[in-house]
Amino acid sequence: MSESGQRPEDASGQEVKTTGHTWDGDLCEYDNPLPRWWLWGFYATVIFSLIYWLLYPAWPVADTFTKGLSRVTFEVDGEERSTHWNSRALLVREMQNSDAAQRQQEFLRVIDDSTLDDVLGNTDKLAFVNSYGQGMFGDFCAACHQTGGAGLMGVYPNLADDNWHWGGEVETIAGTITQGRLGYMPDFRDALDAQQRDAVAAYVLSLAGYEGDAERIARGEEIFQGREGGCYTCHRPDGTGLRSQGAPDLTNDIWSNIDVAGAEDDAARRALISQLVHDGVQREMPAFGDRLSDAEIKVLATYVHQFGGGQ
Amino acid sequence: MADSQYQARIPVYPRTVRGRFRNLKWGVLALAYGVYFLLPWVRWDRQHAANQAVLFDIPGRRFYLFDLLVHPQDIFWLAAVLIILALLLFLVTGIAGRVFCGYFCFQTLWTDVFMLIERWVQGDRAARMRLDRQGGGRPLVLKGITHALWLAVAFATGLTFTLYWANAPDLVVAFFTGQAAFAAYATTGLLTLTTYLLAGLLREQVCTYMCPYARFQSVMFDRDTLIVSYDAARGEGTQGRAKPMRGLRTREARQARGVGDCIDCGYCVQVCPVGIDIRHGLQYQCIHCALCVDACDTVMDGLKWPRGLVRYTSENALEGRRTRYFKPKTLGYAAPLVLIIVLLVWGIAHQTPLDASVSQVRQPLFVQLSDGSIQNSYEIKVHNKSQQPVVLELRLSGLDGAELDTGRIERLSLMPEQRTTLLARVRQDAPAGAPRQQDLMFELVPVEPEGMAVVRVESQFILR
């Protein structure tokens, strides 16, 4: 260490080289040489970058870029494609050819060859269904039905409860996914006037277990079960609904079109149902039969069945 | 200017020395090499797993350490081990200087072996210096042999490192028949190259320029830290050091003329593997290998003068004060060190054979069913960490009138090391006035083997 005012010295007492500038009277900066191998290391990185630029996409040029010599080959629908090196193409290839992808395909075949009982009773197969199904549900279903199948009131039915419009067996769910569904209830704006609709609403609420004005309910029953409304044709005389028509069960407190359970009072509940009878219902779920393989649909149906409401 | 911007390495030709610290270093080296090179070959009897004592199985996601099996979820142990190593380093460095650098660092150990090979082939310091000055065939041949042997040791080092990551006997066969995985060749190649470069060619440059440790050693050192020091007061006297010329051959004569005990033989400088002169005091290049202590002791013994002109001592001791070992800094390092060691040992000793976790399905959090009851779903993950097959039954407790539904799965069978996921549903008739959230407990009851403890995992049931 140098005393104040002295030039720095090295261990053997020789004055060391500094940059020559002095701050605050005695602050100097060493000008020690870099080791030469460090310079070689720098040259090595320069050579590395030259090779890299040659092989991989590197330099932006106007609205394009240098593509590099390295290429990735992958298959799309059985057709071989080749592109400059990029990680998206690598991902496509990985998703097709990697060990994991092949094991996945293998497991998918196992599910395809297994009976439903076997799948539902086997933890390994079920675990695969739940993990692969989750991915597919996210890709194809969750946009409407929401992650976990909770659905959206008024638009997309809840798949996690045990209330099914078309049936909750794995086969029926698979059918729904394959063909899609058209949910339709005609509007009664001309057939029934406001008072009649109100009466029907009261009767429907009584089916679901709500109490109400007995006289109004009796009038509603007449309309529901008679020719005036004819509701019984699809909803069945007991209100449990014809599954072939996708008619919902009216005898429970689960509502997928209107939030009856959340309504404030009897009048509000009746108003909701009355409005629905006035408007009718038209809902559509697209068909996935031409987009997914049978095995995938089986996995997806089993996954949805697992949400907790499967029958 | 170009020459002064970049400095070529000044060659260091360390000379042989014998002594206490050299013997200690040979001992540590033999132990370290023995462990490193033999460990992958030690077999270990395991019923359902690899029979290699120490194996880092990356594809299988588990590490085998003798009777201990480490799973990815035990990553906290790694954190604990790293904290222990760091604290140990600080503690030891604070007390005894760069013990790690001088005796245990891979760079030091491998450089030592490479220097040994160099000496066997080319001879000691003087012979090597002569070889470097000479032209012609003989130096070329000797240097060629040296480098070939270095590469052989480097390759053995690289291959051995790779053996820790797969079954050693299989991997060696696969390696030499061209059947091994690319990663095995890449790892071996990289380790061979770096070992050769770092221990053969770069040596002290690694410690001086690459290793950050040298640069922050002064933060850990204090006036009580034992460092390899030159006793300047004794060595220099009042008139400085001097060679033992006529009239300066005895201590008495030297002391009478104010000359110190250092006879300026230069042995301590010649043995230094990093090429410094310890008589200039503590320097960041010094790795505290203590070979200069051995060198000076040898010379002092020859002169029948007392040892310790160069010795392990603290700045306080050099100035005649007492060296304090027990002080807040040392205790501050030692206390957390002991704490973490206890925690780690406790953690390892309290491993459970079954690892289970329950996460409630949060979308939707609860669902009303057509009979009015409320259903919650749970994803239950079970991992059988034991080395035997296990059959489990899932039960529910702590929730009145609740019903557990696991579909058609009645029992869980798990092979050793198998893990699985099960979706379970819990239903309860929502009684009026029940709290929005209730606690419940899942119990995994082992049916086989008998005597295994029930695993309980808490979760909650949400009503609305």
For residue A255, give both structure tokens: 């509502």
pLDDT of amino acid B1 = 39
Cβ within 8 Å, pair A126-B202:
no
- Residue among B277, B281, B368 whose CB faces A254 most closely: B368
pLDDT of amino acid B2 = 42
Say if residue A74 is in the same domain as residue A192. no
pLDDT of amino acid A8 = 60
Say if residue A135 is in the same domain as residue A156. yes
Instruction: Name the DSSP class of A7.
Output: P
Say if residue A171 is in the same domain as residue A202. no
**CA atoms of B418 and B382, how far apart (whole Å):** 8
* A52 occurs within a structural domain: no
| pLDDT by 10s per residue, chain B, length 464 | 344 678 888 889 999 999 999 999 999 999 999 999 999 999 999 877 789 999 999 988 889 999 888 988 888 999 999 999 999 999 999 999 999 999 999 999 999 999 999 999 999 999 999 998 887 788 899 999 999 999 999 999 999 999 999 999 999 999 999 999 999 999 999 999 999 999 999 999 999 889 988 888 878 889 999 999 999 999 999 998 999 988 888 999 999 999 999 999 999 999 999 999 999 988 889 999 999 999 999 999 999 999 999 999 998 998 889 988 888 999 999 999 999 999 999 999 888 889 899 999 998 899 989 888 999 999 999 999 888 899 999 999 988 889 999 888 889 999 988 889 888 999 998 777 888 899 999 999 999 888 888 999 999 999 88
At A209-239, the pLDDT tens digits run 999 999 999 999 999 999 999 999 999 999 9
Say if residue A77 is in the same domain as residue A130. no
* A236 occurs within a structural domain: yes
Query: In whole angstroms, how far apart are CA A270 and each of A24, A200, A207, A224?
Result: 88, 9, 13, 15
* A35 occurs within a structural domain: no
Say if residue A221 is in the same domain as residue A84. no
Say if residue A79 is in the same domain as residue A114. no
Say if residue A216 is in the same domain as residue A275. yes
Give the mean pLDDT per block of 10 residues along chain A (311 residues): 50 72 86 87 96 96 94 86 93 89 93 91 90 94 92 91 91 95 94 95 95 94 93 94 92 92 92 96 94 94 86 74
Say if residue A76 is in the same domain as residue A86. yes
* A18 occurs within a structural domain: no
**CA atoms of B453 and B395, how far apart (whole Å):** 14
Cβ within 8 Å, pair A36-B7:
yes
The ipTM of this complex is 0.79
Q: What is the domain extent for residue A157?
A: 98-180+288-310
Cβ within 8 Å, pair B277-A12:
yes
- DSSP state string for A120-153: HT-HHHHHHHHHHHHHHIIIIIHHHH-GGG--BT
Helix (H) / strand (E) containing B414: strand B412-414
Q: How far is A162 from chain B (nearest CA, A)?
A: 6
- Residue among A38, A123, A253 whose CB faces B409 most closely: A123
Nearest CA in chain A to B285: A11
B383 bridge partner residues? B355, B419
**CA atoms of A102 and A94, how far apart (whole Å):** 10
From chain B, the residues in CB contact with A252 under 8 A are 370-372
Domains and their CATH numbers in chain B: 227-318 (no CATH), 354-462 (2.60.40.10)
Domain final position from A93, A109, A141: A93
A167: domain CATH number is 1.10.760.10
At B261-308, the pLDDT tens digits run 999 999 999 999 999 999 998 888 999 999 999 999 999 999 999 999
Binding site residues of A for heme c, as ranges? 141, 144-145, 185, 231, 234-235, 285
* A156 occurs within a structural domain: yes
In this complex, how many residue pairs, one in chain A and one in chain B, have their CB atoms less than 8 Å apart?
A: 99
Say if residue A215 is in the same domain as residue A250. yes
For residue A185, give both structure tokens: 């209830």
At A95-126, the pLDDT tens digits run 888 999 999 999 999 999 999 889 998 988 99
Cβ atoms of B167 and B52 closer than 8 Å: yes
Say if residue A171 is in the same domain as residue A152. yes
Within a 10 A sphere around the Cβ of B199, how many other Cβ atoms? 25
Nearest CA in chain A to B201: A37
Domains in chain A, number = 3
- Chain A residues in contact with chain B using a Cβ-Cβ cutoff of 8 Å: 11-12, 17, 33-39, 117, 120-121, 123-124, 126-127, 130-131, 146-150, 158, 160-163, 249, 252-254, 261, 306-309
B182 in contact with A at a CB cutoff of 8 Å? Answer: no
Say if residue A65 is in the same domain as residue A152. no
Say if residue A164 is in the same domain as residue A293. yes
- Residue among B8, B363, B372 whose CB faces A150 most closely: B363
* A10 occurs within a structural domain: no
The whole-model pTM stands at: 0.78
* A176 occurs within a structural domain: yes
Cβ atoms of B101 and B213 closer than 8 Å: yes
Q: For residue A303, report the phi and psi dihedrals to the nearest 5 degrees.
A: -60, -45
* A216 occurs within a structural domain: yes
Of B142, B124, B127, nearest in space to B15 by CA: B124
